[in-house]
Amino acid sequence: MSAYKFDSQPTAGQPDAPKDASPSTARQIIRYLRWAGTALIVISAIGFMLQGHADLLPAYRYWVGLAFTLVLCAGGMICAYGLKEATGARIFFALGVAFLPVQVSQVSAMIYAYVHGGLALQLPYSWLQFGHVSPSLIAVDFAITAVLLVLVSYTGFAMLARRQVRPLMQAMLLGNGLLLLPVRDAYWIPCVIALLFFALRAMEQRLRQDSSMHLPEGFSARVLISLPFLILLGRSLLHPASLPLVVVMASIVAVVGVIDIKHYAKSALIIYTGQCIGTLAALLAWVVVADSLANSGHLHYGLLLPLAVLLFMLSAYVDYYAGAYRFLGSLLALGIISGALLDGQALAPLMALATGIALSLAGLRHREKIPFFSGHLCFLSGILFYCGYAIDAYNHAPWLSSIGLGLLVLLAASYLEKRQQVILSKVDAYLNELRSWG
C-alpha cells in the first residue's frame, strides 16, 4: 500500500453505495467531525503552551507534553487495532508526529540551559524557559524523546506515505537533530537555518516527483518534516535580530517567493505577488549587508553594484516582466559605474570594464538593446579612464608618441583598404541585427 486516504471510500470488494444522498451526507458529517476533533486537539495544545503555567516546573511541563503525545499515539492504536479504522489512526499518528518537534525543542532548551549555565540566553516567556533541570533527568527526557521520535515518526510516515518512509525519516531526524543543538548565538543559528532550509528544499524537490506525495496524505507528510525548521525559525525570532539572521530570512523569502511558490500555486495573482515579495526580500538582503559594510568604511558604489547583479539573476526565474528586471539592472549598473568613476573610487575603471563586458554579453544573450548599449557605455567609460595614462605618456614623450600613433593610423588605413567590403557587410548585418532586438 503506497498511500492512504483520509476519507474512506468504497473499495472494489465492497458493495456499491446506495443512490440516495444519505451515505454522502454521513461521509460529510464524519469528515467535519474529524476536522473539528483535529482542530480542538491543536488549539488545546497551543492554549496550554500560551497560558504559561509558571507554577509548573520545567521538567513537569515537558512531562505534560509527553503525556499529550502518548495519548495521541494511544488514540491511533485504538483506531488501528480496536476499531479497525485506518483513517482515524492516520490522523492520530500524524498529530503525534507533529507534536514530537515540540518535545524535542523542550529537551533542546534543557540541554542549552545546562551547557551554558548563567550565560544562557533566557526568553522573557516563562513557558519557554526550561532551566534548572538536573542532568540525570535531562538524560532520561532525551532518551525517551529519541525513542518516541523514531517509533512514532516511522509509524506515522508508514501510514501516510509508505513508499517514501526512508527520505521522510531522514528529513525528520535531520531537522530534530539540528533543533537539539545547544546554540542560540547570532551567527551559528542563521547557518543552521540556512542549512536545514536548503536540505528540506532538496528533499521536497525529490518528493514532488512521486505522484502519491501529491495526495492529502503525502502532502501532510511533506508538511510534517518542515515543522522542526518552522520551530527553529520561530525560536530565532524571539531572540534579538542580527545581520546574518536578517540576511538568511530575507534570502529564504526570496527563494520561496520567486522560485518555489509556483510549484504550489496556480493563481497568476499569487505567483505575481510572491514574485514581488521575493524580489523586495532579495534586494533588502543585500541593502542590509551593504549598509553594514558602508558603516565600516567601505566604498559605497561598489557595494551597490550587486543589486544590479541580483536583478539579472532574478530575471532568469521570474514569470513576469523578466525584461524589465534586466532593463532596471542595466540602468542601475550604468549609474553606479558612472558615479564610481566620477567619484574617483579605487578599482572603478576595472569595475567599468568588467561590468561593460558582462552587460554586453547579457544583451547578446537576451537580444536586448538596453543591456547591450549600457555595457558598451560602461566599457567605453573604463577605456576613457585609461586613455588618461596615454595622454600622460604623450606629454612625457610627444615625438615618440606621435610616431607610434602615425604608424597605427597608416596600418588601420591599409587594413580598411584591404577589407572594406567585408567590414561594410558585417556592419550592415550588425545594424540589421540590432534593429530586430527588443
Q: What is the pLDDT of residue 261?
A: 92
Q: What is the pLDDT of residues 135-166, one digit of tens each?
A: 898 899 899 999 999 999 999 999 999 899 99
DSSP state of 436: T
* Residue 348 confidence class, pLDDT cut points 50, 70, 90: confident
Lowest mean pLDDT among 1-5, 215-219, 306-310, 428-432: 1-5
246 or 425, higher pLDDT: 246
Residue 170 has pLDDT above 90, yes or no: yes
The pLDDT of 3-31, averaged and rounded, is 56
- The span from the CA of 305 to the CA of 312, in Å, is 11
Residue 183 has pLDDT above 50, yes or no: yes
* Residue 127 confidence class, pLDDT cut points 50, 70, 90: low
Decide: 359 and 372 in contact? Cβ < 8 Å. Answer: yes
The pLDDT of 292-298, averaged and rounded, is 69
2 or 176, higher pLDDT: 176
Q: Which residue carries 501529491 as its cell?
A: 214
Q: What is the pLDDT of residue 257?
A: 94
The pLDDT of 275-298, averaged and rounded, is 85
DSSP state of 262: G
* Residue 391 confidence class, pLDDT cut points 50, 70, 90: low
* Residue 5 confidence class, pLDDT cut points 50, 70, 90: very low
Residue 273 has pLDDT above 90, yes or no: yes
Residue 175 has pLDDT above 70, yes or no: yes
For residue 356, which of 374, 344, 340 has the smallest C-alpha distance?
Answer: 374
Q: What is the pLDDT of residue 203?
A: 93
Q: What is the pLDDT of residue 9?
A: 40
- Average pLDDT of the chain? 82
Q: What is the pLDDT of residue 51?
A: 60
Show the cell assigned to 69: 503525545
Q: What is the pLDDT of residue 292?
A: 81
Decide: 180 and 108 in contact? Cβ < 8 Å. Answer: yes
Q: How many residues does the chain have?
A: 438
Q: What is the pLDDT of residue 392?
A: 60
User: CB under 8 Å, gap of 24 or more: what pairs does 92-95 form?
Assistant: 93/152, 93/155, 93/156, 93/159, 94/156, 94/159, 94/160, 94/220, 94/224, 95/38, 95/41, 95/42
Residue 395 has pLDDT above 80, yes or no: no
- The span from the CA of 214 to the CA of 220, in Å, is 9
- The span from the CA of 363 to the CA of 396, in Å, is 40
Q: Which residue carries 526570496 as its cell?
A: 254
Residue 363 has pLDDT above 50, yes or no: yes
Q: What is the pLDDT of residue 4?
A: 41
Residue 241 has pLDDT above 90, yes or no: no
Verdict on whether the full-model pTM lies above 0.75: yes
* Residue 13 confidence class, pLDDT cut points 50, 70, 90: very low
Q: What is the pLDDT of residue 1?
A: 40
SS3 360: helix
Q: What is the pLDDT of residue 438?
A: 60
SS3 238: coil
The pLDDT of 428-433, averaged and rounded, is 69
- The span from the CA of 98 to the CA of 178, in Å, is 17
What does each C-alpha distance from 161 to 4, 154, 158, 167, 261 come to in angstroms? Answer: 7, 10, 6, 11, 23
299 or 319, higher pLDDT: 319
* Residue 122 confidence class, pLDDT cut points 50, 70, 90: low
Find all residues with CB under 8 Å of 10, minimum gap 6, and list them. Answer: 16, 17
Alpha-helical regions (H) of 161-242: 165-179, 188-207, 216-224, 227-237
For residue 310, which of 385, 375, 258 has the smallest C-alpha distance?
Answer: 258
- The span from the CA of 410 to the CA of 417, in Å, is 11
* Residue 384 confidence class, pLDDT cut points 50, 70, 90: confident
Decide: 286 and 310 in contact? Cβ < 8 Å. Answer: yes
417 or 221, higher pLDDT: 221
Alpha-helical regions (H) of 256-343: 268-295, 300-315, 322-343
